[in-house]
Amino acid sequence: MKTKIYLTILMAFGLFSCSDLEEMNINPDKPSPELNKYDYSRSKVSTLLRAGSTYNGAHIFQRLKSLHIDLYSQMLDEVPSGWTNTRNYFSNDGWTIDYWNIIPSWISSLNIVINQGKDDPDRVNSVAVSKIWRVYIQSQACDVFGVMPFPSYKQIVENPPYVSVQDQYLEFFTELDEAIKMIDPAKGFLNGKEDMIYEGDITKWKKFANSLRLRLALRVSEVNPSLCATQAQAAIAIINGGTMESSGDDAKCPPSNKGWGQDYNYTLLFGWGETQHMTSSFEKLVTNIGGIDWPLSVSATTKPAKIDPRAVVMFDPSSSGIWKGVTPGLHPNNVNQSPNAKTEIAILGEFIVGKPAARNISRDYDLMLYEEVCFLKAEAALRGFATGNAKTEYEAGIHVSFTRWGVSGAEAYILSNDKNTAGTSANFDDISGTGNTQLEKIITQKYISLFPDVSIEAWSDKRRLNLPRFDVLAYRDPLIFGSLPSDITDPRSFIKRVKIPNAESTNNAVEYEKGVILMGTGGDRTSTNLWWDINKNYCTSAI
């Protein structure tokens, strides 16, 4: 009897069972990826389309775009962040690490979608877009860091090795080629809500893929002109679907406006008081070009007499009515100090960010616009990489851009021989004086048309061609740039890449060391050229 009681007590404690402990260890609030009641690939692609378009929200957007790319493309300068040392080409791991960490996780997720869908005829478009998107995301990271480790979907390696920039580009072209051929408009794709870029229109994705291919083709124009030609021609070829044909084909992504940091992020930066301002380089490019008078509707105390009318929309006069650019790379002590105080420099326009009381939080993020394609085609035609009419494309690009910024006068503008500070005029046929080659015209106009969301392309053009003309920074990291030239026509005067965060050299030492070898003699420094950047200088500006 007593034994029975004891046994009952023991049983009551449940000490004999065990399998339920394993069951208890299953999270009730997070699904397992193996759950086969649901096709996660749609959700994954959808999630990544927005994440990749917006740098995953304000956190990375500011750190990567505003505090690196915008400064390096000299499109914007953030004030009053005097401590923004990336402004002076210093490295700041704290601002790059999260982007560095998130890129491979995005690629891994896309790899899973590609692998899971490759044998399913119904998922062909999903796989194709995943491949395109993978190239889009990876090429941006590659142009920032250069040699980087990337997970492949073909060969699953636990710790993927570093891939040279050359190999990455070769893969980009194959992937895009495969994706373009794979796209089948007869098959289904994501619905309009899931595909926030093209609302499920797979034909537009095909044009985007070809346009992206053209963008990347021109990137290799200096280091491998024949590859550039082959890829540019394939991108333009009608048989492959061709590139974007109008602004209706623009790749844009609306912000989600759901939660903190998910708005159009320049508006958020303004909310923090970290206002964005015009640089002196930008000012020099837009002053006097096109011969159009400063618009009467905009009052400013200090302003150029003639101005590219788009620039007055892009930047508003400062609170004290001054329309002037800030000197790039100010020493920390001089940031927000006269004559570069925020009250004295032109500020990112309300056309983009809206008024303080009504910020333009739902503005789309531009990923790739039709005018960029026009200028890419113009360059390809001008330099003989593909057939076409450089002047027609060039002028089309200007027209589209004028429309986008809501200004008129493009007809007069493209006939004007008035030159900006660098010596560049808008008239394609006027090549008088220094700084006025047709390539300089194309890249100057492309630069303006990329403003502000696609500044990364502007920085890449600067590295590839040393165009357009930039001011050299007032103060640069003395450790790296102390011994480098300070000359607007010497490409080595400008930053070449972003350094890989330190954590990588401790957490992934073996692979990192191999990667550093792939970077070449410069090693993991901000002054080291990427593969496609061979210090070519096309800048003929005298001042």
Partner 1 sequence: MRKKFKQVLKITMLVMLFAFTNVLYAQRDITGVVKDAKDGVVLPGVNVMVKGTSVGSTTNVDGKYSVKVPSGSTILVFSFIGYNSKEITLIDAQDSYDVMLETSTQEIEELVVTALGVKREKKALGYSMEEIKGEGLTETRDPNVSNALTGKIAGLQVRQASSGPSGSSRITIRGNNSISSNNQPLLVVDGMPVSSSTSGTDDYWGNRNVDKGSGMADISPDDIESMSILKGPAASALYGSLAGNGVIMITTKSGKLKKGLGISFNTNTTFEKPMETPDFQNVYGQGINGAFDVTQTGSWGSAMDGSNVAALLGDKPYSSSGNNLYEDFLRTGVTSTNSLELTAGNDNSTLRIGISRMDNKGIVPNSKFEKTSFDVRTTGKWNKLSADVKINYIRQITENRIKLAGDPDNIFLNYLATPRSVAFSDYDKYKEFNYAKEKYGSPAVFEANTFNNPYWSAYRNTNKDNKDRMLGFFALQYDFTSWLNLKARYGLDYTSSMFQDRLATGTPYWTTNGITGDFRAIQEINKIQNADFLFTAQSKLFDKVKGIFTFGGNLMNSKSTYQLTQAQGLEIPDYYSVLNGVNREIAFNRTEEEIRSWYGTASLSYDNWAYLDVTARQDRSSTLDGDSYFYPSIGGSIIVSQLLENSGIKTGPISFAKIRASWAEVGNDTDPYRTREYLNIKYDDGVLNVTPENFKTNPNYKPESIKSSEFGVDFRMFQNRLGIDFTYYKKNAFNQIIKLPTPPATGFQYEYVNAGNVENKGIELSVNAIPIHKKNLDWNISLNFSKNKNKIIKLTDGVKDHLLSDLSVQFLQVVASEGGDYGDILGYTYDRNADGQIYVDANGIPLPSEKMSKLGNYQPKWMMGLYNNITIYGINLGFLVDLRYGGKVYMGSIRTGATSGTLAMTLDGRETGFVVPNSIVKSTGEENSKAVSSQDYWKGISGITEAWMYDATNICLREMSIGYAIPTAITQKVKLSSVKVSLVARNLFMIYSKTKGFNPEGTYSTNNAQGIEYGTMPQLRSIGFNINLTF
The one-letter amino acid code at 51 reads: A
Closer Cβ to partner 1, 82 or 388, answer by number = 82
| Residue of 14, 188, 225, 339 that binds partner 1 (CB under 8 A) | 14
If the CB atoms of residues 87 and 383 are measured against partner 1, the closer one turns out to be: 87
Residue 11 within binding range of partner 1, rule CB under 8 A: no
Contacts of 509 (CB under 8 A, 6+ apart): none
Residues 43-102 that bind partner 1 (CB under 8 A): 43-44, 46-47, 80, 85, 92-94, 97-98, 100-102
115 makes contact with partner 1 (CB under 8 A) = no
435: left (phi over 0), alpha (psi -120 to 50) or beta: left
Q: How many residues does the chain have?
A: 543
The SS3 of residue 520 is coil
CA distances from 90 to 334, 477, 535 (A): 16, 5, 21
Considering only residues 3, 8, 32, 36, which one is a binding residue for partner 1 as defined by CB under 8 A?
A: 32
User: Is 344 one of the binding residues for partner 1 (CB under 8 A)?
Assistant: no
Out of 129, 234, 236, 268, name the contact with partner 1 by CB under 8 A.
268
* 251: β partners: 368
d(CA 386, CA 170): 19
For residue 239, state whether it binds partner 1 (rule: CB under 8 A): no
How many other C-beta atoms are found inside a 10 Å radius of the C-beta of residue 439?
Answer: 17
Q: Which of residues 482-511 bind partner 1 (CB under 8 A)?
A: 482, 501-504, 506-511
User: In angstroms, what CA-CA distances link 22 with 25, 26, 480?
Assistant: 5, 7, 56
Q: Comparing C-alpha atoms, which of 364, 457, 447, 405 is closest to residue 53?
A: 364
Q: Which stretch binds partner 1 (CB under 8 A): 234-242, 269-277, 370-378, 453-461?
A: 269-277
DSSP string computed for 290-307: GGPBPPTTS--SB--SBB
Q: Which of 11, 31, 122, 339 binds partner 1 (CB under 8 A)?
A: 31
Query: Least distance from C-beta 504 to partner 1, angstroms?
Result: 7
- CB neighbour list of residue 138: distance below 8 Å, 6 or more residues apart: 103, 107, 150, 168, 172
| Cα 421 to chain centroid, rounded | 27
Among 11, 105, 339, 534, binds partner 1 (CB under 8 A): 105
The DSSP call for residue 322 is B
Rounded to 5 degrees, what are φ and ψ at 277?
-130, 160
**How many residues contact partner 1, by CB under 8 A?**
86
Binding residue (CB under 8 A) for partner 1 from 22, 186, 239, 521: 22
Among 104, 200, 242, 388, binds partner 1 (CB under 8 A): 104
Query: In the complex with partner 1, which residue's Cβ is closer, 25 or 521?
Result: 25
Spatial separation of the C-alpha atoms in residues 65 and 68, rounded to whole Å? 5
Q: Candidates 40-48, 178-186, 380-388, 450-458 — which segment interacts with partner 1 by CB under 8 A? A: 40-48
Which residue in the set 26, 238, 296, 305 belongs to the binding site for partner 1 (CB under 8 A)? Answer: 26
Coil, helix or strand for 347?
strand
Q: Give the residue, chosen from 267, 401, 427, 529, that forms a contact with partner 1 under the rule CB under 8 A.
A: 267
State phi, psi for 505 to the nearest 5 degrees.
Answer: -70, -20
Does 103 participate in binding partner 1 (rule CB under 8 A)? Answer: yes
Q: Quote the least distance from Cβ 123 to partner 1, whole Å.
A: 16
The smaller minimum CB distance to partner 1, of residues 489 and 508, is found at 508
Site for partner 1 in 148-167 (CB under 8 A): 148-151, 158-160
Q: Which amino acid is at 446?
A: K
Sort 80 into a burial class: Cβ within 10 Å, 0-12 / 13-18 / 19+.
middle
Distance CA 193, CA 201 (A): 11
Q: Which of residues 184-203 bind partner 1 (CB under 8 A)?
A: 193-194
Cα distance between residue 413 and residue 306, in whole Å = 11
| Beta carbon nearer to partner 1, 105 or 203 | 105
Contact 219, 140 (CB under 8 A): no
- Binding span for partner 1 by CB under 8 A among 127-135, 172-180, 245-253, 263-271: 263-271
State in Å, rounded, how far the first CA of the chain is from the last one. 105
- Please state the closest distance from residue 202 (CB atom) to partner 1, in A: 18
Residues 359-398: x/- map of binding to partner 1 (CB under 8 A)? x-x-------------------------------------
One-letter amino acid of 315: F
| Closer CB to partner 1, 199 or 411, in the complex | 199
Q: In terms of CB distance, is 256 or 537 closer to partner 1?
A: 256
Stretch touching partner 1 by CB under 8 A, among 236-244, 336-344, 418-426, 442-450: 336-344
- 253 lies in the binding site for partner 1 (CB under 8 A): no
Which of 1, 3, 4, 24 is the binder for partner 1 (CB under 8 A)?
24
Instruction: Give the shortest CB-15-to-partner 1 separation in angstroms.
Output: 5
Contact between residue 202 and residue 443 where contact means Cβ atoms under 8 Å apart = no
Amino acid letter, residue 469: R
The least distance separating partner 1 from the CB of residue 345, rounded to whole angstroms, comes to 14
- Contact between 107 and partner 1 per CB under 8 A: yes
Q: Which CB atom, from 305 or from 510, has the smaller least distance to partner 1?
A: 510
Whose Cβ is closer to partner 1: residue 339's or residue 356's?
356
Q: Rule CB under 8 A: is residue 479 a binding residue for partner 1?
A: yes
Tell which one of 77, 175, 249, 263 touches partner 1 (CB under 8 A). 263
Which of 19, 36, 155, 226 forms a contact with partner 1 (CB under 8 A)?
Answer: 19
What is the torsional sign of CA 274, 62, 372, 199? Answer: negative
C-beta separation of 172 from 136 below 8 A: no
Binding flag, residue 258, partner 1 (CB under 8 A) = yes
